[in-house]
Structure 1
Amino acid sequence: MIWQWLGSPTLGRRISVLTALAVACTVALTGVAGWLVTRVSLYQQLDDELTEIASFTSDSVSADISTLGGLDAEALRTVNVSLLVLGTDGSVRRVPGASTSLVWGAEEMAVARLGQGSSAREGRADNGNLYRIVAVPMEIEEEGSYALVIGRPLQPYTSILRSLALVMGTFGGLAAVGSAFIGYAVARSSLRPVRELSGAVSRVTVTDHLDPIEVHGDDELSQLTRSFNTMLSSLSLSRERQRRLIADAGHELRTPLTSLRTNIELLVADDRTGMLPEGARAEILRDVAAQLAEFTTLVGDLVQLAREDRVEPSPEPIDLREVTRNAIERARRRGPGLTFDVELNPLYLIGEPDTLERAITNLLDNAVKFSPPGGTVHVLLEGDRLRISDQGPGITDEDLPHIFDRFYRADSSRNTPGTGLGLSIVATTVARHGGWVRAGRSAEGGAEFTVQLPGSTTLAEVDDEGDETQILTRISD
């Protein structure tokens, strides 16, 4: 195979070779067709000329068969032909002094015996040279039917055909070679974006740098380059999120781990020396339990954030009222002295009930955490929006732009329990369901969170296949 002969060719080399092969095949077919047409035309012209000479000569020969109409060898040489008269009995009469004699065959005998028609073929003379031989019938009174056989050497014509074949082969080869270079140049120019993509992949592999590629033009390869740049941008963003998550997680985990380690070391030392006063050991154990609870919550939030980035979704039709009621029940247990003002109107959507319940629970926990004793938490589900507000100190203007950032905690909440991940989980979950969440101030001065989720007030519309497919796509993304 030609690919084995080429070794492992590049795509540009393959294109140049295929272009050369295509041109060579085209030239070869065109050349063969041209050569055949030329050959047929030359032979047809020669046959017509010989037939005309034979017909003209037969009149004078038939008038005097004994001297063949007075023909001599010099006259035949002038028109470059050889001539003989063939009888039906196989007798042959030749021009006296002729240097060559044609070798007749069955075709010429058939013309002589039938006395009609004509024949034309390639044959040879007695000297072995190739001739074009034509026979026409000739009638002689009182002697019967003959065939006048005339021939001309084919050497001039075969020389023309050989020269034509040589010219066609030479120019065809040059055309194939030239097309190979042109094809290679075109392929090299056209495949420049592919080489840049390959180089970019190599750079990413070797240097780990996600630099985009410069795009020129608007063809298919340029669009491929843009898609590759988009992939690089997404990969860079994902890597940055991962790096930030690891850094923030390491920073947040360090504090409870350090405190937990200090308390455990105190307990170990007290077990050996009895250094702690009465009651201190129980207080340290309570601190350890609280720190373990905080540590468990932090790890759970981190797992949830990691899960949000890569889990395969399992959405289903849900009633957001049921999800919100379950979250409110949890919040009631965590804020027993608070009043919950709840109004839930129908809202059905395609989603993941577990993740949505966790997000709503995080919002309610935030409201419970900052509500004053005896305060009221308002929960309103109306249309496609869920509003949760409290009577706490609210969110300052400086904190609003960062309230949904991972591990961000306002100065006013530094001494309250929490990991700084709850609102980030809310934003991620709502975005995956095709909605949005906003923070602001309530009419009573506290914090108010508004969640918008695409859905419908009737379950029948949610079950529509088109809407479900659209929401499933958003959750998958």
Structure 2
Amino acid sequence: MLRTKITVLVVAAAALAIAVTAFASFRNVSDVVGDELERGLEDRTDTVRTLLAADRTPPERDDMIEQVLSPKGAVRPLAPGRTALPVSAADRRVARTGQGTSRQDVMVSGTEYGILTRPLPDGGAVMVGQSYRDAVRLERDFLWRICLTTAAATGLSALLGWLAVGRILRPVRRLVRATRRITSTQDLSTSLPPAGKDEIGQLTLSFDTMLSALRRSRSQQQELVHNASHELRTPLTSVRGSAELLQRAQGRLDPEDEQKILATLVTEAVALDDLVRELVELATDRYTEDEPTSVDLPTLAEDSARRHSRRTGRTITVTTTSPTPVHARTRALQRCVDNLLNNAVKFSPPGTPITLHIDGCRLSVRDRGPGIPPEERTAVFDRFHRGPGTQAIPGSGLGLAIVHDLVEAEHGTVFATEAAGGGAEVGFRLPPRTGGEDAPPPGCATSTGTPRL
């Protein structure tokens, strides 16, 4: 569970920080207490020496033991009945020589004492022992309080972390519930929770964008299936009717009528084959599998023009003005030019020329046909669109739709306008190839959007 993992991580970090702080505080307090004990021991020793020099007996303290050590090593307690401090060789040397000091920690009757030995002016030395019992108790109590405080602070941080992480992850939980509902119901119209301005909000926006793309994709698929079923029904009905007529006639038809029916079968079968092929291309986007590269539009246009001129016998002229290399998929671009030429051949009267013009990174194909009415210049790039007066012309209505989709995939734009002198001019613009010397001329498209014209 993400909430538990984040809470554990937060609590671990907080506990580590608290423990480090508590340990540092304990060490600092211990050092301060130790320094105070040392100063207290030195002050007490100086006080005892001063009082002894004045032939006065120092007052007793419960945490202190004082005694005088003669130069010969004899010990005289200053407070009767008190436990004697152990004498070391260093203590005797101070008492004998009257020089230096001796400092040591020893155990006396189960209690640790700090002993300081200093020489007396009249010979010998004074030994002062300070008990560490209170200091040890203070240190132990402080350690226990630190442990309890650390435990309480860790528990409080765990509670606050759990609540805070739960609040932070609340949009994630709403997003998870929404995505689960979409997954289980397959209802892409399900709305996602409102998006904030933080990273979780950006994640929600990304999911919403992806969901919108899925909605559009499903809508386009449904529209394609609907339109395809409608377009397939016409040639299939014609093929079926012609076949049934031949079956019922069983050779009784005139040869001329039979030839017409067979010609109809062949024509409808070819149309059906073209329609299925273009539907497969629309559904698979197989031209987008190639890697984009630098494409020289005049070379590509000359190749398409030669092939179509040889196949159709039509005169196709290629003209150029400041051609600019473009960055696109070669096969996809070739398919776009082929479809534009097929469209021009289809709507141009026999014997009329077709012009393919390249201006910078703009390619257009002009025909001498009836032209495209202004209200139809946007719809001609829709799938299965058949304008007024074109219903009887063979075709699937997918050629220009394929051009639009392929050009849009290359971040270009398509257009359809009226040609000067009559006819239509249909084509596309593509972004120029990025590079130092390839500056885009005025006719190049540099926008990433592709409005359907």
Taking structure 2 as the reference length, what is the TM-score of the superposition?
0.83
Corresponding residue for 1:190?
Answer: 168
What are the residue-to-residue correspondences of 1:297-376 with 2, within 5 Å? 297-308=274-285, 311-333=288-310, 335-336=312-313, 340=316, 342-345=318-321, 347=323, 348-376=325-353
Corresponding residue for 1:118?
Answer: 101
Relative to structure 1, the CA distance from residue 88 to residue 234 in structure 2 (aligned partners, 3 Å threshold; closer, same or farther) is farther
Match of 2:45 among 42, 54, 62: 54
Match of 2:409 among 422, 425, 432: 432
Counterpart CA distance in 1 for 2:417 and 2:68 is 122
Counterpart CA distance in 1 for 2:222 and 2:146 is 68
Counterpart CA distance in 2 for 1:15 and 1:315 is 44
Alpha-carbon deviation of 1:407?
1.0
Counterpart CA distance in 2 for 1:95 and 1:295 is 125
Report the residue type matching 2:8 in the other structure: V
Pair 1:136 & 2:118 matched? yes
Counterpart CA distance in 1 for 2:44 and 2:287 is 95
Of all paired residues, the percent bearing the same amino acid is: 34
SS at 2:392 equivalent: coil
Contact 2:101 2:117 in 1 (8 A): yes
Counterpart CA distance in 2 for 1:248 and 1:110 is 115
Report the residue type matching 1:82 in the other structure: I
Corresponding residue for 2:442?
Answer: none
Contact 1:388 1:450 in 2 (8 A): yes
1:131-151: CA deviation from partner (whole Å, max 9, x where unpaired) = 33322223645xxxx332222
Match of 1:175 among 146, 153, 174: 153
Alpha-carbon deviation of 1:160?
2.2
Counterpart CA distance in 1 for 2:100 and 2:436 is 93
Match of 2:75 among 79, 82, 92: 92
Corresponding residue for 2:185?
Answer: 207
Counterpart CA distance in 2 for 1:386 and 1:56 is 108
Contact 1:378 1:388 in 2 (8 A): yes
Pair 1:225 & 2:204 matched? yes
Report the residue type matching 2:421 in the other structure: E
Counterpart CA distance in 1 for 2:437 and 2:44 is 97
Counterpart CA distance in 1 for 2:357 and 2:288 is 30
Contact 2:412 2:449 in 1 (8 A): no
Relative to structure 1, the CA distance from residue 440 to residue 51 in structure 2 (aligned partners, 3 Å threshold; closer, same or farther) is closer
SS at 2:395 equivalent: coil
Contact 1:320 1:346 in 2 (8 A): no
1:395-446: CA deviation from partner (whole Å, max 9, x where unpaired) = 2344333110011111311111000101111222233333322112233343
Counterpart CA distance in 1 for 2:128 and 2:436 is 100
Alpha-carbon deviation of 1:293?
1.1
Corresponding residue for 2:223?
Answer: 244
Pair 1:40 & 2:31 matched? yes
Gaps of 5+ in 1: 1-9, 64-68, 465-469
Corresponding residue for 1:234?
Answer: 213
What are the residue-to-residue correspondences of 1:54-73 with 2, within 5 Å? 54-58=45-49, 61=52, 71=57
Counterpart CA distance in 2 for 1:232 and 1:204 is 10
Counterpart CA distance in 2 for 1:110 and 1:258 is 128
Tell me which moved more, 34-43 or 104-113: 104-113
Corresponding residue for 1:418?
Answer: 395
Report the residue type matching 1:328 in the other structure: A
Report the residue type matching 2:135 in the other structure: Y
Alpha-carbon deviation of 1:299?
1.8
SS at 1:420 equivalent: coil
Report the residue type matching 1:300 in the other structure: R
Report the residue type matching 2:138 in the other structure: I
Match of 1:257 among 236, 241, 265: 236
Report the residue type matching 1:83 in the other structure: E
What are the residue-to-residue correspondences of 1:389-404 with 2, within 5 Å? 389-404=366-381
What are the residue-to-residue correspondences of 1:149-168 with 2, within 5 Å? 149-168=127-146
Taking structure 1 as the reference length, what is the TM-score of the superposition?
0.79
Match of 1:21 among 12, 16, 22: 12
Report the residue type matching 2:159 in the other structure: F
CA RMSD for the aligned pairs? 3.5
Match of 1:83 among 42, 51, 66: 66
Contact 1:131 1:153 in 2 (8 A): yes
Contact 2:105 2:113 in 1 (8 A): yes
SS at 2:67 equivalent: strand
Alpha-carbon deviation of 1:122?
3.5
Counterpart CA distance in 2 for 1:137 and 1:237 is 100
Counterpart CA distance in 1 for 2:259 and 2:90 is 130
Contact 1:327 1:358 in 2 (8 A): no
Counterpart CA distance in 2 for 1:91 and 1:268 is 144
Report the residue type matching 1:133 in the other structure: I
SS at 1:387 equivalent: strand
1:190-230: CA deviation from partner (whole Å, max 9, x where unpaired) = 33343344334323322223445344442333223322322
Alpha-carbon deviation of 1:237?
1.9
Relative to structure 1, the CA distance from residue 108 to residue 27 in structure 2 (aligned partners, 3 Å threshold; closer, same or farther) is farther
Corresponding residue for 1:4?
Answer: none
SS at 1:403 equivalent: helix
1:156-203: CA deviation from partner (whole Å, max 9, x where unpaired) = 222222222232222222222222222233323333343344334323
Counterpart CA distance in 1 for 2:75 and 2:436 is 108
Report the residue type matching 1:132 in the other structure: G
